[in-house]
Structure formats: C-alpha cells, structure tokens
Amino acid sequence: MMMADYAVTDQLGKLHVVGGGLQLINRDHNSGQTAAFALVVTLVFPAEVFQEQYVFEVVLEDAAGNPVQVPSGVIRFAQNLTVDEPNLSRSGVPRRTLPAQTSVVLFFNTGLPLPPGQPLAWRARLDGESRPEWVQRFFVPGPRPAPVIG
C-alpha cells in the first residue's frame, strides 16, 4: 500500500504513479480539505487461491485504530473480489506460473476533510482480517504557529 500525489491504472492493468511515497498531506486550513492525493493498494494472490472470493475493504483510522469520522461519515471503501487467474498464454507463460496481481487506486481529486495534527492510517482488510503490513500511516499537519514578535 502506498500514497501518492497521483496514480492511475491503464487498460492493461499497469500502475502509473506520480509522487509516490507520500506521508504528509497538506491541508487548506480555510476550507478544511486536504490536497488531492491517491491511495494505491496492490493485491497479489498465489495460484492456490485463483477463483476464490473475498471481501476487500480499506478504512481510514485514527492512532487508536478507530474509524475516522468526517462530516459525511466514516471513510471506507469495500467491494467483493474474485481472484482471477492471469491470462498470459499469448506471452508463452505457462498457467499458474505467476500470481494474480491488481492495483486498486482510490484518487481523492478534491482532497478529504481530514483532521489535522494527528497520525492517521489506511487499513486494508480481506474478509475482515488485516496484517501490520497492510497499513499505510500518514499525517496531516496543522497550521504553522504564528511568529512571536517582541
């Protein structure tokens, strides 16, 4: 999982990323919205699970692991997922040689109304289960302190 300034997948499933590795997301303190950003979740499945179905979910959490509440509710993305076997026969690759791989890109082109000054994290889950490596931590800085004069 990674965050970036911009990301998209093309028709062949290739991932294109600009500004990958983002950990700080700036915020307009007048509007309360962050800058635009993308969350990329790359899923890789071994041949043993081809054709199995899962519930895939990404949730925004605070430092305590609780879902973050914004004015419109909890930020959560979920979908049913079937692991399709890659069709690489035209390339001469034998069946079941390579894992199934896909990247899910969530692009927030107008930003999000995220709270500043606290650590946040995206957590991915499959069938309700998560692992420490399925977490992407980041921070939204608050306004800079005013200079002290005198």
Domain ranges of the chain: 2-139
103 confidence band (pLDDT: 50, 70, 90): very high
Query: CA-to-CA distance for 137 and 3, rounded, in angstroms?
Result: 9
Other CB atoms within a 10 A radius of the CB of residue 75 amount to: 20
147 pLDDT more than 90? no
Of the candidate CATH numbers 3.40.980.10, 2.40.30.10, 3.40.140.10, 2.60.40.2560, the domain formed by 2-139 belongs to 2.60.40.2560
Percentage of the chain modeled with pLDDT above 70: 100
pTM, 2 dp: 0.89
Q: Can you read off the two tokens belonging to residue 10?
A: 């093309």
Predicted pLDDT at 15 = 96
- HEC string of 93-127 equals CCCCCCCEEEEEEEEECCCCCCCCCCEEEEEEEEC
82 confidence band (pLDDT: 50, 70, 90): very high
Mean per-residue pLDDT for 125-139?
96
